[in-house]
Amino acid sequence: MPLSAPVAREHLHTRTVTVRGFRRADGLYDLEGHLTDLPTGVYVHDELGEQPPGTPVHGMWLRLTIDRTLEVHDAEAVIDHWPHALCRAVEPNFKRLIGLRIGPGWRREIRQRLGGTEGCTHLVELLGPIATTAYQTLFGDLREHPVAPTEPGQPRPKPFEIDGCLSWASDGPMVKQYYPDFYTGER
């Protein structure tokens, strides 16, 4: 269902965010995010001066390489289009994500490592869609090939989607159907 009809208005800006998930040949996964900000009018770039309509203000890429437990093994940031000369200086700081795990505490850890002048507002924002795309990317693989227990005889880890949203509440019908051993509702 589309949104309701808007009042008369003028289009000023378009932000496009695209995130793609890949299974790599080495068993890891890449999540690649791309953010573009495109003003409809002229803007003034710090170094290049006046830029014509259709010239991106921001063009940014971020790749996270993760494993099946959602731990970050590598991170790479590239800023192709920027409004200020200093913007690109934060690219190497995104390596600080290595070792983090997407899940509880993810946003807090990002703020600690890349908050304020240590990061880029737009690349940090891109980590939200990348994280949710990681779940979507791994969902089918993990259902077919669950993460094994770390120790023989131990129970397997709780699947990441359980209690991640209303549909996957541990006491709800989806968990009862697909993960009965993790179901917490009435039996």
Structural contact between residues 127 and 32, judged by C-beta atoms closer than 8 angstroms = no
Number of Cβ atoms within 10 Å of the Cβ of 130 = 25
> Which H or E run includes 78?
strand 72-81
Q: What is the mean pLDDT of the chain?
A: 91
Number of Cβ atoms within 10 Å of the Cβ of 157 = 13
Q: pTM to 2 decimals?
A: 0.82
Collapsing DSSP to helix, strand or coil, 81 comes out as: strand
Q: Above pLDDT 90, what percent of the chain? A: 67
In tens, the pLDDT along 100-155 reads 999 889 999 999 999 999 999 999 999 999 999 999 999 877 766 666 666 777 77
- Give residue 156's pLDDT band: very low, low, confident or very high (50, 70, 90): confident
Q: Give how far the C-alpha of residue 165 lies from the chain's centroid of Cα atoms, to the nearest Å.
A: 17
* 176 phi, psi to nearest 5 deg: -60, -40
